Amino acid sequence: MFVVSCLLLTFLSVGLSVSIGTMKLPFLSVYEYLFNHISGVTYPMGTNEFVTDYIIWEVRLPRVVFALIAGAGLAVGGAIMQNVMNNPLADPYSTGISSGACFGVAVAMVLGITVSIGSQTENLGVMLNAFIFALIPMMAIVVLAPKMNTSPATLILAGTAVSYIFNALTTVLLMSTDAETLATVYQWQVGSLSEITWASMPIMAVVNIAGIILALILSDKLNVLALGDDSAKSLGLNASNMRIVCLMVISFMVASVVCYAGIISFIGLISAHIVRIILGSDNRFVIPAAAAFGALFLIMSDMIARYLSPQDAIPVGVVLSFIGAPVFLALIVMSKRRVW
């Protein structure tokens, strides 16, 4: 029921989000134009219908579809990370993986590792660079994981330290670059969907959809892993290998989002928490529910950002911080149920 409700709200949010912008569109006509476009209906060039169809399909819809897939992927990544680390505060943002990936993007752009701005080849190079640097905090997590028995907060403290290190390195790197690159990398640091096009979709969509499917396949093993390494071993599961595989998958998913949209924070943290409070901790239900809620969360956050500023002056990352921080604090203070 929870997943169905999220999917229904997501469907409605897609139409509402597409209707918002400098040119406001009727809510119901958005679905009509989408249906007509899929059905192959064309309009004479230069007419109002042609312009409206172009704005919906080429300008606004890619952004909404990207938000849907990226939100689902980041939410599932957060749910997996919290499970494999047995820490409710763990997610790609709080553990430094996002900051590492963002630093990789900055390195690629400032040092000119990529070719031809805006091409698919460049985005592939940026994603690979982001993934390489996302591996650094990931490996730190793998090393620290066996030592977390005495202090579950160790992971978050280490992740915060790694995030500050990567942010400092990014700042030093940007001090030697031009104003245009500086503005672009800053946009990556705060998280924005303003530059998303259909060309941004294939790699990110394939990586995140594959990651979500893999998480669903491994949901039973994730439940076993949540029992602890000793219990998992007694049930025939190699906890260390399972943890490394999951973190590698998460790193790929985060890197594929960061290289196009920058650091999108709080999605994994908030979505997994809310889902576990409502549905419990069984990953067979948590993972699909987190995907549905994460997609809705990011679409609505971007919709709020564009409603407040139709000219895209407010990045979605800012809205997520304003929403996510108080919600996360409320979850910590008010929640009485034990979800771990």
Task: For residue 158, report the phi and psi dihedrals to the nearest 5 degrees.
Answer: -65, -40
Return the higher-pLDDT residue of 299 and 280: 299
**pLDDT at 170 (0 to 100):** 82
How far apart CA 164 and CA 59 sit, in angstroms, is: 35
User: Is 307 inside any structural domain?
Assistant: yes
pLDDT higher than 50, residue 326: yes
pLDDT of amino acid 299: 93
Structural domain contains residue 141: yes
> Which has the higher per-residue pLDDT, 267 or 183?
267
The CATH number linked to 85 is 1.10.3470.10
What is d(CA 308, CA 152) in angstroms, rounded to the nearest whole number? Answer: 39
Give the pLDDT score at 150.
Answer: 45
Residue 181 has pLDDT above 60, yes or no: yes
Least confident of 156-160, 186-190, 322-326, 336-340: 336-340
pTM, whole model, 2 decimals?
0.86
Let me know the angle formed at the C-alpha of 74 by 72 and 77, rounded to the nearest 5 degrees. 110
How high is the pLDDT of residue 116? 42
Please give the single-letter amino acid code of residue 268. G
User: Would you place residue 161 in the very low, low, confident or very high pLDDT band (cuts 50, 70, 90)?
Assistant: confident
Q: Determine, yes or no, domain membership for 152.
A: yes
Q: Is the pLDDT of residue 83 over 60?
A: yes
The rounded distance, in Å, linking the Cα atoms of 50 and 337 is: 53
Confidence (pLDDT) at 114: 53
Structural domain includes residue 199? yes
Question: Averaged over 1-29, what is the pLDDT?
Answer: 86
Contact call for residues 62 and 200 (beta carbons, < 8 A): yes
Contact predicate 74/254, CB 8 Å: yes
Residue-level pLDDT at 115: 42
Percent of the chain with pLDDT over 70: 89
Which one of 19-28, 84-93, 141-150 scores highest in mean pLDDT? 19-28
pLDDT, residue 254, reads 85
User: Which residues are CB-neighbours of 44 under 8 A, at least 6 positions away?
Assistant: 50
Contacts with 338 (C-beta within 8 Å, 6 or more apart), sequence order: none
Hey, is 2 helix, strand or coil?
Answer: helix
Which of 124, 96, 137, 129 lies closest to 110 in space, CA to CA? 129
Which residue do the tokens 């958005």 mark? Answer: 30
> In Å, what is the CA distance from 56 to each residue of 70, 98, 173, 301?
20, 30, 38, 19
Q: Give the helix/strand (H/E) hosting 39.
A: none
Report the percentage of the chain scoring pLDDT > 90.
Answer: 14
Residue 129 lies in a domain: yes
pLDDT in tens, 85-130: 777 777 777 777 888 888 888 888 777 665 444 444 456 667 777 7
Burial of 292: CB neighbours in 10 Å, binned 0-12, 13-18, 19+: buried
* Range of the structural domain that residue 308 is part of: 2-334
Domain count, the chain: 1
Which phi and psi angles does 132 have, rounded to 5°?
-60, -45
Residue 326 lies in a domain: yes
Question: CA-CA distance, 312 to 307, in Å (whole number)?
Answer: 9
Instruction: Classify residue 339: in a domain, yes or no.
Output: no
Task: Report yes or no on 340 lying in a domain.
Answer: no
> What distance in Å separates the CA atoms of residue 54 and residue 62, rounded to the nearest whole number?
12
Going by pLDDT thresholds of 50, 70 and 90, the confidence category of residue 289 is very high
| Top-confidence residue, 131 or 74 | 74
Q: Which two tokens stand for residue 15?
A: 């139409």
Residue scoring higher pLDDT (52 or 111): 52
Place of tokens 């406001």: 24
Q: Looking at residues 12-29, what average pLDDT do you find?
A: 85
Report in angstroms the alpha-carbon separations of 36 from 33, 39, 53: 5, 5, 9
- Mean pLDDT over all residues of the chain? 81
Please list, residue by residue across 124-160, b when 16 or more beta carbons sit within 10 angstroms of its beta carbon and e when fewer do. Answer: ebbbebbbbbbbbbbebbeebbeebeeeeeebbebbe
| CA angle, residues 149, 334, 86, in degrees to nearest 5 | 20
Give residue 171's pLDDT. Answer: 82
